[in-house]
Structure 1
Amino acid sequence: MENELTAALAGVRDAFARYPRRAVLDGCPHCEGSVLVDEHDLFSLTISLGNTVGGRVDVKALLPVLLERLLGSDELEPVIVLGKLRYEEWRTWPRVEQEAIDAYLDVVWRALLADHPSRLGSFTDPTDFLDAAHAAGERVERFLDVWDATLTPPADRHLAELVSRLNFTSQKPSALGDWLRREATRDRLHRAWERDYDSQWADDLARAYDLLRH
């Protein structure tokens, strides 16, 4: 996965290379005025970037470093960073830019499912990623389909954990909740238990299966 992550980041850099990065961004004169871009404090910048500081071109110029920093540190908030995409209507951007972001999201998602426990920089686990992807305006079904096709012990363990945290009394519509409650999810957990019945996480699989039975 390391090579795929590297390639995805390179694709983002290439797609947005034509947008020059400015050392100082124009800010709202009533809020904070001009803002110095300091890569050592990107978190503070992401809160106002594209809103009261800088514009769409600045978001695009900084996107490669922000997406790379999401994977290399825990200093940024994925929901804030990826939320910039929806705010800036990224699905209206040139196709090459959309494809680079899509490739990034896809490889990060697969990398998170590939290990358990998983942490990839600022992404702490699969649910953290799904929240951020939703903030970007993406339908979670896109990533749940990949989870369905990833029939590995780490992906199954993530699934069992998520079921154990599911609020079964909630009546609020949820694509993720509906996906978890499917008979297919229950059957998958049973098959995972049969495969890993002598593992240290077998009880977790069985417990999640029992939750979905009732």
Structure 2
Amino acid sequence: MDDDLAVALARVRDVFARYPRRAVLDGCPHCKGDVLVDEHDLFSLTISLGNTVGSRDDVKSLLPVFLESLVVSEDLYPGIILGKLPREEWRTWPQDEQEAIDAYLDAVWRSLLAHHPPRLGAFEDAATFLDAARAAGERVERFLDVWDATPTSSADRHLAEMVSRVDFLKRKPSLLGDWLRREAVRDRLHRAFERDHDSAWADDLARAYDLLRR
């Protein structure tokens, strides 16, 4: 785990420590009843927490373990976890709580771009992260700007991978598609190919460049 991400996670734990974690959560009396919190079975809890089980304070108390699990294992789904945030109106939370989550998202994104393939548990690629960020109610432009400002080989490989995933024949407007179609992205992929032309991933860069030229 990158140092910046470790610091961000420590900040999340520190900020949300004010919400005691309960061993048993109150569930809907008609469908769930009381629910035992078991960190070895977090997935089933992520589905119901904040809906039929627990309160907003319970969501906050468990957020540190959820966010850490996302980057160290593949057991949870980022979109489900981060999708709880807008439902709990996280942009109305105390400022330090919002800042801790923002710092976590930024650190995850930078760590993901720093490695290809990524080493971030459930965040298996750039598309997974951006989808989860949308689920959190965040504007993806914030993260695309960081991508623009990260001209590394690993970030370029993520870029080529993203180009290969997008269906450019769809007529429906797409913010990501428009961002990828920019001349700046084509030029970046061309420079990346020239730099890494003798690498194992040179063909991926070339294919992505050709897709954007069509």
TM-score after normalising by structure 2: 0.97
Aligned residue in 1 for 2:32: 32
Aligned residue in 2 for 1:129: 129
- The superposition leaves residues 110-130 of structure 1 with CA deviations (integer Å, 9 ceiling, x where unpaired) of 010001111301111111111
Aligned residue in 2 for 1:146: 146
Distance 2:54 2:37 in 1: 10
Letter in 1 for 2:145: D
Structure 2 unaligned residues grouped into runs of 5+: none
- The superposition leaves residues 36-91 of structure 1 with CA deviations (integer Å, 9 ceiling, x where unpaired) of 11111000000010011011110001001111111111111110000111110111
Structure 1 unaligned residues grouped into runs of 5+: none
Aligned residue in 1 for 2:15: 15
- The superposition leaves residues 144-198 of structure 1 with CA deviations (integer Å, 9 ceiling, x where unpaired) of 0000000001100111111112101112222111111111111111111111122
The number of equivalent residue pairs is: 214
Q: Is the 8 A contact 2:126 2:162 kept in 1?
A: no
Q: Helix, strand or coil: the match of 1:17?
A: helix
State the 1:2 CA deviation.
2.1
Aligned residue in 2 for 1:93: 93
Letter in 2 for 1:18: R
Distance 1:207 1:2 in 2: 31
Q: Helix, strand or coil: the match of 1:10?
A: helix
Aligned residue in 2 for 1:42: 42
Distance 1:178 1:189 in 2: 16
Aligned residue in 2 for 1:2: 2
Letter in 2 for 1:154: S
Aligned residue in 1 for 2:74: 74
State the 1:93 CA deviation.
0.5
Letter in 2 for 1:212: L
Q: Is the 8 A contact 2:27 2:53 kept in 1?
A: yes
Distance 1:173 1:38 in 2: 43
Distance 1:201 1:25 in 2: 49
Distance 2:199 2:60 in 1: 46
Distance 1:177 1:31 in 2: 43
State the 1:206 CA deviation.
1.2
Structure 1 residue ranges (4+ consecutive) displaced by more than 3 angstroms after TM superposition: none
Aligned residue in 2 for 1:197: 197
Distance 1:197 1:62 in 2: 46
Letter in 2 for 1:16: F
TM-score after normalising by structure 1: 0.97
* Percent identity between the two aligned chains: 77
Letter in 2 for 1:77: Y
Q: Is the 8 A contact 1:119 1:125 kept in 2?
A: no
